[in-house]
Chain A
Amino acid sequence: MRNSRVIALALGAVLATAPAGAQDGADPGVPAAPPERVVSMNLCTDQLAMMLADDDQLHSVSYLSQQARGSALVEQARQYVPNRALAEEIYLMDPDLVIAGSFSDRTTLDMLRRLDVPVAVFEPAGNLSDIRDRVRRMGAVLHREEAADRMVARFEARLAELSAQAPPEGARPSAALYSANGWSSGGKTLPGQIVTAAGFDLVADDFGLAWGGFLPLELLAMSDPDAVITGQPYPADSRAEEILDHPVVAHLKRDSMRGIVSDQDWSCGTPLVLDAIARLSDARLAASGAGR
C-alpha cells in the first residue's frame, strides 16, 4: 500500500512537468459524498475548517495554525496533524479532500490533482461580506451546510449589533493602519473594514489608498490620526518594522488607544474578526469617555 503510493507519487512528479490543461475546468470543489479525511494547507482555510468540521472529519492543518504568531486557534489546531503544504507529505496522508488557499503553491496543487486528490481552492476574503461566502462554501465542501448557516446567522447578527454602536458620519475618530515599511491599508481591504466597522474613518482613504499603499511617515504625521494601529512585530529585528518604533509613530499612538494592535484575529476572513471589531469599538468608547 505505502509502496504503491510512493510509486504513484514519483510518477506524479514526472507527470508534473507536463502542462496541466483540461483538468482545470473540472474543479472538484464540492465532493459528492461527505469527506472523511480532510487536509487543510492554508492558515485561513484551517480556521474555517476547524470551526465547521464534524468530529474526526479534519485530519491535518498547516503548521502555521499551531503557531501563536498568526493563528487565532492555536489550542484547537494542536489536536490535528500539522502539515507544511508539501505535495509529498499531503499525498501520503491519504486525504479524500484537500483545502487550499489561492496563494498556495500552484505546482503543489497541480500535482495533487494529477494524483487524483480532490482539491478545493479558497480565495482569501478581501472584505467583511466575503466572509459569509467563505463560511457557506466551507460548509458546502465539508457537507456541513447547516452548521455554516448557523454560523452566518450569528455572524450577521453580531456584526449588525456592532455596526449600530458606530458613531455617525462626522463624529467618527480617525485611525491609521500602519505596518512594516509604512504600508497603510484602506477601506477596501479586510483590515480596513474591521476598522471602519468599529466606527473609525481611515486615514489611508483620504490619501486615495483604499486598496492600501505606502504612506510616507511625513503624511502620517500631518494627518494626525486619533489612533494608529500597528501590527505585532515578528521575532528578531528588521528595518522594515523599525519604522513602527519611530518617534513620530510613538508620538501619534495616543495613550488611550495605545493598546490596539492588529493581531491574529485580523489575519483571516473568519467570524473571529468580530472580536477584533469589538475590541476596537471598546477602545474608541473608552477614549471618548475619557474626554479626549
Chain B
Amino acid sequence: MTRLMLVLSALVLALTGAALVIGPANAPYGDSLAALFVDDGTPLTLVMREIRLPRAILALAIGASLGMAGAAMQGYLRNPLADPGLIGVSASAALGAVLAIQTGLAAAFAFGLPLAALAGAVLGVVLVLALAGPRGASITLILAGIVVSSLAGALTSLVLNLSPNPFAASEIVFWMMGSLADRSMDHVWLALPLIALGLALLATLTRGLEALTLGEDAAQALGINLTRLRLTLVVGTAAVVGASTAVAGTIGFVGLVVPHLLRPFVGARPGALLWASALGGAAMLLAADILVRVVLPTKDLKLGVVTALVGAPLFLHLIYKTRRQMA
C-alpha cells in the first residue's frame, strides 16, 4: 500500500519533469530547467514560466481531481462505471462555464468562471444521483448520465452557436474534448483554490466509503452520517470537476480508468483508493498531455481524444463484465 503510493509519487514526479522539458521550443533539458528557476533574460524563461509551468501544474491538479472524483463516485455508488465525464457532471460543468463566458460573468468577476462551472457540476451530480437512485444501479446510472451529458452538451453547443463571435462555434470541440494548450498562470490561480477545497472534502470520505462497503445499514450502525457523506461527495466532486472543466474543458475517462487499474493494488478498499487514484489520475493526464504535444505539436490534439482512446475499450470491457455478473 505505501509502496504503491511511493511508486505512484515517483511516477508523477518523473512525468512532471518530462512535461516541463518537452515542447515545440525543443531547448536542451538542462537549460530549460535552469531557465525555470533563474531568470536569465532569454525567451526560454518566458516559455518555461508562462507556458510550460502552468500547463504542468494544471495537468497535475486536474488529473488528480478527475482520478479522485472517479474513485469517490465509484465508492459511493458501489459501481465501477461511475465517472464524472461519463455521467454528465463534466458536461454540465462545461455548460456552466460557457454560460459564464458568453454572458460576461467570467469577465465581470474574477471567480465567476469556476464558480459557474461549479454550479453546473452541482446541478449535474444532483440530477444524476436523483435519477439513478441511492444504490446507483448500473443501468439507471448510465441512462441518467447519457441524458444529462447529451442535454448539457446540446445546450453548450446552442449557447456557442448563438454567440456573435465567429470562433465560438468551433470551441464546441474544446468544451467536449478538453485541452491544456496555451493555458496561463491566470488559469492556475482560477482553478487551484476550488480544486484544493474539493480534494480536501473528498479526502474526508475515506472512512465513510469503507463503511459503506458493508451496506448502508451497517454504515449507519458504524456511526456514518449518510446525508452528510452524500453532501460532501456532491460538493467535493462538483468543486474539483467544475474548476477543472472551467479551464480545460471536458476530459473524460480518467476517473474511470485510473480507479479501475489501481483497485487491485489497494485490496479493493475504496478509502485507500482515493489518494492512489489522485496520484494515478495526475500521472495519466500528464502522460496524455505530453503525448498530444509530441504526436501533433501544431494541431492542438484534444486531451479527451487520447483519454477516450485509452478509456473507451476499458469501459466496454467493464460493461461486458457487468453483463456477465448480471446473467
A→B interface (CB under 8 Å):
180-182, 213-219, 221-224, 234-243, 246-248, 251
Q: Chain A interface secondary structure, helix, strand, loop or mixed?
A: helix
Determine whether the beta carbon of B182 is less than 8 Å from that of A243: yes
Among the listed stretches B225-233, B250-258, B296-304, which one makes contact with chain A, having 4 or more residues with CB under 8 Å of it? B296-304
Indicate which residue in B168, B174, B182 contacts A217 across the interface (CB closer than 8 Å). B182
In the assembled complex, B223 has its CB within 8 A of some CB on chain A: no
Known A237-B106, A251-B50; contact A182-B182, beta-carbon cutoff 8 A = yes
Q: Is the CB of B25 within 8 A of A222?
A: yes
In the complex, which of the residues A181, A219, A236, A243 contacts B25, with contact meaning CB atoms closer than 8 Å?
A: A219
A217-B182, A221-B47, A236-B164 are known contacts; what are 9 more A-B pairs with Cβ within 8 Å? A214-B299, A218-B25, A218-B52, A237-B101, A239-B101, A240-B167, A240-B168, A248-B47, A248-B184
Residues in A neighbouring B299, C-beta threshold 8 A: 214
A180's nearest neighbour on chain B, judged by CB, is B167
B51 and A218 form a contact (CB under 8 A)? yes
The 8 closest A-B pairs by CB, nearest first: A240-B167, A238-B167, A218-B25, A236-B165, A234-B165, A216-B24, A238-B165, A224-B43
Question: Could you say which of B102, B104, B174, B300 contacts A214, with CB atoms under 8 Å apart?
Answer: B300
Cα-based distance from A104 to B201 in the complex (angstroms): 56
Q: Does B167 lie within 8 Å of A221, measured CB to CB?
A: no
Contact A217 B51, CB 8 Å, known A238-B168, A251-B46: yes
Contacts of B164 in A (CB 8 A): 234-236
In the bound assembly, the distance between CA atoms of A246 and B184 in angstroms comes to 7
When chains A and B are docked, how far (Å) is the Cα of A31 from the Cα of B27? 60
Contact call B186/A238, Cβ cutoff below 8 A: no
Chain B contacts of A246 at CB under 8 A?
A: 50, 182, 184
Pick 7 A–B contacts, CB within 8 A, sort by A: A182-B182, A218-B47, A222-B25, A236-B168, A242-B182, A246-B182, A248-B46
> Contacts A218-B24, A238-B165: A248 and B101 contacting too (C-beta < 8 A)?
no
CA distance A216 to B27 in the complex (A): 14
